[in-house]
Structure 1
């Protein structure tokens, strides 16, 4: 958060051990068992804390609690697999098919991400929902859609969820006194992704749009 008195961003929060988090989680065990729900590991990016999140997922798994996670997949392949064995459902964001464009937009290449995505698709214990956050000027063209279709067929991704770009992050960046690089990018509506969706479907990918 931004501390006005210090005129800078400061880290806030509380440190927890896995045992302490599990104590909180287990308070709702009856609800999980009744509803079929469970725990979602999210962020930020969960692989910024790989040892902790893996130990937590393992503890949930051993307690019979369903575990969902959200990730960009940018992790050491062995670290990725160490966690994935304890995950039941994974939201996996795939932002770009082209590594150079991915690096230009995110500061990292995508080979590692795609390797982990391909590995995830082969795990029998894991259900994967691939998502594309569709952003004008980054991955929104018809050519992008065609290349995504080719990529997903190559690595055996049968379905993808398209997420139209929104500007919900503007306020958060302002609160943190940070410049928002995408502030002038147009928000997308569900209807804006009809052609993108159609191209993927024509490639044999079950593409759906999740509007905001």
Structure 2
């Protein structure tokens, strides 16, 4: 089991925003949702990717000459990598004189992840922190994640997981068994609008959220508030109606931001929300008040 591998795109130390105390966040690559506002678009692809930074590139084209599989080509002044023919030999990266090409994602064994996160075990103990599994969507690599959770639990590490809840109910039940805190993302209460924004329906998500609450898990609902998608006061009430039916108590609102905008350029992907104005906490005072008036503990 310790030799099992998962594709991970970041292990972030000293986080204070993804659960209590000081935490290490393990970001799993791959997500079944394709949210147009995603701040980590590199996390949607489940494989290791090569990214290209236009600002660093001098168009020497060494990368094209180096590739033995013709997987790299110049298209409309953009260096483009064909993911279907690329073998991830990374010779192109080694040949780049300006480090314009970089690797996004790496395969880790369970032993390697444990070794990394346990380096800060003392900080977890002193701050009441622990390890958070995030993504992407951690449930995409559930076999690895479930085994990692077991290993962490044996060491009495507090475990939080940020998830969309998009998986079969059987997998989800097994997954949450060793989870102390669920940071449960909810994009929309309406089935069709959820599909329009994420390319998946929310049936599994709602069912799994209900399961977690029924089992008495500590759950915080995280709602990314996105302009022209779910930011009206009517939307706030729609969320409340659904969450009260399920029995949810705690909600965390995440105002839309543009922190991930440059990442779309790095992976040569169109960003539909490029000119959309960011939201701030003060923009959502009335929105938050709807949740409070419905008896929900709602914070930013």
TM-score of the aligned structures, taking structure 1 as reference length: 0.91
Structure 2 CA distance for aligned equivalents of residues 172 and 135 of structure 1:
18
Match of 1:8 among 80, 98, 101: 80
> Which structure 1 residue ranges, 4+ long, deviate > 4 Å from structure 2?
none
Structure 1 CA distance for aligned equivalents of residues 263 and 149 of structure 2:
29
Structure 2: stretches of 5+ with no match in the other structure: 1-49, 58-62, 64-71, 73-78, 89-102
Whether 2:175 is the aligned partner of 1:83: answer yes
Q: Which structure has the highest helix share of the two?
A: 1
- Bigger relative CO (Cα 8 Å, ≥ 6 apart): 2
Structure 2 CA distance for aligned equivalents of residues 143 and 66 of structure 1:
37
Q: Which structure has the highest strand share of the two?
A: 2
Structure 2 CA distance for aligned equivalents of residues 71 and 123 of structure 1:
17
Instruction: Report how many residues are paired.
Output: 208
Whether 2:272 is the aligned partner of 1:177: answer no
Structure 1 CA distance for aligned equivalents of residues 246 and 193 of structure 2:
20
Structure 1 CA distance for aligned equivalents of residues 116 and 235 of structure 2:
43
Match of 2:239 among 124, 144, 148: 148
1:113 corresponds in structure 2 to 205
Note the C-alpha offset of 1:30: 3.3
User: Does the aligned pair in 1 maintain the 2:139–2:145 contact within 8 Å?
Assistant: yes
Whether 2:126 is the aligned partner of 1:34: answer yes
Structure 2 CA distance for aligned equivalents of residues 98 and 150 of structure 1:
11
SS of aligned partner of 1:138:
coil
Structure 1: stretches of 5+ with no match in the other structure: none
User: Does the aligned pair in 1 maintain the 2:219–2:250 contact within 8 Å?
Assistant: no
160-169 vs 33-42, greater mean Cα deviation: 33-42
1:202 corresponds in structure 2 to 293
SS of aligned partner of 1:49:
helix
Structure 2 CA distance for aligned equivalents of residues 192 and 30 of structure 1:
39
Structure 2 CA distance for aligned equivalents of residues 206 and 34 of structure 1:
27
1:187 corresponds in structure 2 to 278
SS of aligned partner of 2:257:
coil
Note the C-alpha offset of 1:46: 0.6
Whether 2:146 is the aligned partner of 1:74: answer no
Match of 1:50 among 127, 130, 142: 142
Computed over aligned residues only, the root mean square deviation of the Cα atoms, in angstroms, reads: 1.7
1:65 corresponds in structure 2 to 157
